[in-house]
Structure 1
Amino acid sequence: MRVHFISIGGSAMHNLAIALHKKGYHVTGSDDEVFEPSKTRLAKHGLLPESIGWDAQRINADLDAVILGMHARADNPELIRAQELGLKIYSYPEYIYEQSKDKTRVVIGGSHGKTSITAMILHVLQACKVDCDYLVGAQLAGFDTMVKVTAEAPVMIIEGDEYLSSPIDRRPKFHLYQANIALLSGIAWDHINVFPTFENYLEQFKLFLDTIQEGGSLVYCEKDAELKKLVESYNLSSKSSALSKSQKSRFTLLPYDLPEHIIDNGITKLITPFGEVSLSIFGEHNLMNLTGARLVCKQLGVADEDFYNAISSFKGASKRLELVDKNELVTVYKDFAHSPSKLKATTAAVKAQFPNRKLIACMELHTFSSLNKTFLNEYDGSMAIADEALVYFNHHTLEHKKLDPITEEQVKAAFNSPNVQVFTNSAKLQAYLLSKNWKNTNLLLMSSGNFDGVDFSELAQEVIERSK
């Protein structure tokens, strides 16, 4: 098979390119920019384009498939040439389905927790020696790539993102995977640049339910009010339809909630039929994620006792409440959280885990949604539980994303909490943090970026030094 990637440098795209290369495919690719770690990883496998930029001459009739990444545009010369030649052009999720259509497909969806749940499932399956292919949104310890595709594995575990598939395919990615086993963790409005209203965003999850295959199953968090309401209304509408079987006969519902647990001297322990299970992770959202992962693994033949034995050594996915550094007086975490629901869950988790310590929580407004003037009010009270909440944004980021300007006063008013301070200068934010007394105080850094150049490890070391 000869496959060409348009935008091979993307985090997901380069991983799929490497996976297909390992499978024995002849892989080529192009991009107008390739950053680390994609650059080094592609070069290691001989897949780094010889020159940067687009060239229609790379596209010829011998190609079996062209895979189009979101970074490319609809007027890309290589895409136009592929269309002229009548080649098979796939979006990233379409090609994942193509590689997994004869397998049992497990699709993990929801506005939050997707990467963590997928990582938990993969950790347990690896420990239990269950062979599977996978697609996950973060680099995981013990896994070479974020994508694995083979001829042999009977199952594929897929993190199902609701963002768009490609510049010429405006369907959400998770609509294309046709799940046999589906999991939804919750629904909280996101991607406002694509789904301008909550109703429009919610509709994508209803459409996802339509894609679950006959005889499959839906694992879902019934503690999430919006998701519970959606599933129940979908059930009723399906039952009343004269054109289809009832939803219960089409796929099985497997709801989950917060499991019984205790926090003992900073360690979260599950209360199970097999005794207490000590965990390396914590937070109610992680415990619900874990329960969803257990139900998925059970569908794949993993006994509960084996699941608990394996999950006890799970340390979390990259940037998901990831420990940066600590001593006996202070702990520093980083997290990918940027949406209101994620901020609320993550700050609550750290505060509950360390009730006798102060919490200084920093978040960066960095995404299209978070910097949108209309969406800002969704952050109302989202960091109220922290002792101090520091919100950072850069006016240049707004200009770069071509968004309307916002002011520090607007941001402070949107968060609507007396503990909030707003910063627009990265150096001043760091200086403020390093002016604090960090004894018995934790630091939580939340962003899909890096606060414009903050080295989290260096900052953590300086914070720890100031706690002594």
Structure 2
Amino acid sequence: MRIHFIAIGGSAMHNLALALHEKGYKITGSDDDIFEPSKSRLATKGLLPEAMGWYPEKIDASIDAVILGMHAKKDNPELLRAQELDLTIYSYPEFLYEQSREKTRVVIGGSHGKTTITAMILHVMKYHEKEVDYMVGAQLEGFDTMVHLTEENDFIVLEGDEYLSSATDLRPKFHLYQPNIALLSGIAWDHINVFPTFENYVEQFEIFVSKITNGGALVYNQEDPEIVKVVSQATNPIKKYPYQTPAHSVSEGETLLDTPEGPMPLEIFGKHNVNNLEGARWICQLMGVDEAEFYEAIASFKGASKRLELIAETENSVAFKDYAHSPSKVKATTQAVKEQFPDRKLMACLELHTYSSLNPDFLTEYQGALDASDVAVVYYSPHAVKIKQLAEIKQEQIEAAFQREDLITFTDPADFKTYLFTQEYENSVLLLMSSGNYGGLDFNEIQEQLT
């Protein structure tokens, strides 16, 4: 088959392109700009477009299918040409469903934790040499790509994102997968630019549950009241398996999980991650991995990229970066780090970067999110607010939203970097939370700063 990608450079899109190339498909693609690591990875396989931009002349009747990335707009010249030729056009999740129609689809959903839970499941399967297809939203240690597709594997594990599928398909991605086995980790309002009310956001999870195939299974976090409400209202004939945070303890900076064989040290930490682990255990059990096998494998799981990722460490100081940006994620991550290092000063730095976090109407959701930290810092770019065509945000609004009098705010990346690199990190923990890079911060320099 010949597949053409419109917006091939995206994180998910280029991984799907690589996976299909590996499968033997003929792949072409376009984009108006491609950044690392997508650029190098596409180039290595000969899939990098010769020139940046949109070229409708690339689109002809020999193309079997077009995959449209979220980055491409409705008036994209290549999309318009494909529509004119009446070519088959898929959104990214739509195509994944087509590739997995005959497989057992395992879909991990929730406002938070879905990448980590998916990563845990894949780690366990790889440890026990159980081959599965997959799509996960972060690069994982030991995995070449974020997408893997075969003809022969029985299972496919999919991270179920609730964001929209494409410019021409406004359904949330996880509505398209129709899982046989599903998990819901929690619900906390996000993507306010797409789901303007909390009720509208919750409705997407109700629809997701309704899409589980008859006789399928739903594993859900019973500690989340919104999830419990959604599950209790589900009327389709499915099996329901609740889970909760298992017993664990923290001793001298190490998290120990209670197991039938006694306390087991983990590479990860934080109550939210131990909760994620239990959800992953249930899913693995439904995929044929028993409890003892799961514990044996999960002991070596170090986490997904940018999820409490260790970036620097000395004898008495440590630095992590984390993708946390929504209020619930920020709060859980900050608390987790403080609980893991209770005797060290915690400096938590949050970049407000997403549409939701930069929306004045959403800001109040962050109240208390950084309370567990000893020093709380918020960085945001007024320029980014303008680019996103949002209402202007003043620093006083940020301070009022977090309800913390000692909050330190920055709007200039150079000022933030100067502050960061002039602090004393003796007996400290630095936590950098963002889905961006603080206006160009080189995370590699953090190690030099701590030493």
- TM-score above 0.5: yes
In structure 2, distance between residues paired with 1:9 and 1:433: 32
Which residue is equivalent to 2:155?
A: 155
Pick aligned residue for 1:422 from 409, 412, 418: 409
Pick aligned residue for 2:418 from 431, 442, 453: 431
In structure 2, distance between residues paired with 1:413 and 1:17: 45
Instruction: Confirm or deny: 8 A CA contact 1:124 1:310 kept in the other structure.
Output: yes
Is 1:447 matched up with 2:434? yes
RMSD: 1.0
Q: For 1:38-437, list aligned pairs within 5 A.
A: 38-232=38-232, 234-235=233-234, 238=235, 247=236, 250-437=237-424
User: What is the CA deviation profile of residues 143-190 of structure 1, one whole-angstrom value per residue up to 9, with x for unaligned ones?
Assistant: 000000111111101001000001000000000000011011100000
Instruction: Confirm or deny: 8 A CA contact 2:183 2:279 kept in the other structure.
Output: yes
SS of equivalent residue, structure 2 residue 444: helix
User: What is the CA deviation profile of residues 324-364 of structure 1, one whole-angstrom value per residue up to 9, with x for unaligned ones?
Assistant: 11112111000000110001000000000111111110000
Which residue is equivalent to 2:446?
A: 459
In structure 2, distance between residues paired with 1:165 and 1:328: 45
Distance 1:430 1:77, change over 3 A: closer
In structure 2, distance between residues paired with 1:423 and 1:45: 41
In structure 2, distance between residues paired with 1:180 and 1:419: 49
Instruction: Confirm or deny: 8 A CA contact 1:139 1:145 kept in the other structure.
Output: yes
SS of equivalent residue, structure 1 residue 66: strand
Report the residue type matching 2:178 in the other structure: Q
Distance 1:23 1:381, change over 3 A: same
In structure 1, distance between residues paired with 2:242 and 2:315: 39
In structure 2, distance between residues paired with 1:377 and 1:350: 23
Instruction: Confirm or deny: 8 A CA contact 2:217 2:241 kept in the other structure.
Output: yes
Report the residue type matching 1:8 in the other structure: I
SS of equivalent residue, structure 2 residue 305: coil
Q: How many percent of aligned residue pairs carry the same amino acid?
A: 60
Report the residue type matching 2:182 in the other structure: A
Displacement after TM superposition at 1:461 (Å)? 2.3
SS of equivalent residue, structure 1 residue 297: helix
Runs of 4+ off more than 4 Å: none
Is 1:5 matched up with 2:5? yes
User: What is the CA deviation profile of residues 347-398 of structure 1, one whole-angstrom value per residue up to 9, with x for unaligned ones?
Assistant: 0000001111111100000000000010001111111111111001111111
In structure 2, distance between residues paired with 1:180 and 1:264: 39
Displacement after TM superposition at 1:432 (Å)? 2.2
Displacement after TM superposition at 1:133 (Å)? 0.5
In structure 2, distance between residues paired with 1:123 and 1:311: 7
In structure 2, distance between residues paired with 1:370 and 1:399: 14
Which residue is equivalent to 1:241?
A: none
**Unaligned residue ranges in structure 1 (runs of 5+):** 239-246
User: What is the CA deviation profile of residues 272-308 of structure 1, one whole-angstrom value per residue up to 9, with x for unaligned ones?
Assistant: 1122211000000000000000000000000110100
In structure 2, distance between residues paired with 1:26 and 1:434: 48
Report the residue type matching 1:231 in the other structure: V
SS of equivalent residue, structure 1 residue 456: coil
User: What is the CA deviation profile of residues 15-73 of structure 1, one whole-angstrom value per residue up to 9, with x for unaligned ones?
Assistant: 10110010001111111111111111111111111222111211111211111111111
Displacement after TM superposition at 1:439 (Å)? 1.6
In structure 2, distance between residues paired with 1:375 and 1:353: 29
Which residue is equivalent to 1:29?
A: 29
In structure 2, distance between residues paired with 1:32 and 1:434: 35
**Unaligned residue ranges in structure 2 (runs of 5+):** none
Displacement after TM superposition at 1:423 (Å)? 1.1
SS of equivalent residue, structure 1 residue 107: strand
Report the residue type matching 1:457 in the other structure: N
Report the residue type matching 1:201 in the other structure: Y
Instruction: Confirm or deny: 8 A CA contact 2:219 2:241 kept in the other structure.
Output: yes
Number of aligned residue pairs: 451
Instruction: Confirm or deny: 8 A CA contact 2:187 2:226 kept in the other structure.
Output: yes
In structure 1, distance between residues paired with 2:414 and 2:51: 36
Displacement after TM superposition at 1:229 (Å)? 1.8
In structure 1, distance between residues paired with 2:444 and 2:336: 21
Report the residue type matching 1:443 in the other structure: L
